[in-house]
Amino acid sequence: MPRKLFVWVEGASDARFFEAVLRPFLEKRYNSVEVRTYATLKKTKVVNILRGIREAGNDYILVADIDQERCVTAKKEVLVKRFCNLNPGCIRVVVKEIESWYLAGLDDDASSFLGLPVFSATDTVTKEDFNELIPEKFDSRIDFMMEMLKYFLPGVAVGKNRSFAYFIRKHHLDKSILKSDQRRGS
């Protein structure tokens, strides 16, 4: 029987993305999916919560940006040291930052409509790069990100961002992702 999945993300931008884009797909594989943020919580609290999730027989994923680490393995090592008893197999690393996933899901038409350049790959996009792209017509960064999510096509993102594609494959969401883009007219 499918269990409950807890998706632990760093902050609000990550949570918005997972709620809007990935939660609907993950809910097909689990009875329940909860997206929660951990960046503002004390380390001991996160460790205790993750232990409780495991003891209850539920699953979790901890998602983190690669930030300045040299590779995914190094980032996982940092996280395992920070949150003792964290299962490295439950860690998903976003390369480079969640903003790269937002951009990855825009096809050429959506990019043009939003006033953005067309990206063939977004693996190297940083938060700073993203912030420089925000058109003046948007009242805030959050407003811009919410608008991007309206046009987000997961199948397009798979082709533009390797860490997003890895996440999709790792969680066996490939077929659902392709069907969702077809329904949206891609």
Instruction: Give ranges for CATH 3.40.1360 in the chain.
Output: 1-94
Each residue of 90-130: pLDDT tens digit?
999 999 999 999 999 999 999 999 999 999 999 999 999 99
CA-derived radius of gyration, the chain: 16
Instruction: Kindly tell me if the per-residue pLDDT of 9 is higher than 60.
Output: yes
pLDDT average, residue stretch 143-165: 97
The top-level CATH class assigned to 1-94 is alpha beta
Burial label for 77, CB within 10 Å (0-12, 13-18, 19+), is middle
* C-alpha torsion angle, residues 90, 31, 50, 166 (rounded to 10): 20
What confidence tens digit (pLDDT) does each residue in 33-69 have? 999 999 999 999 999 999 999 999 999 999 999 999 9
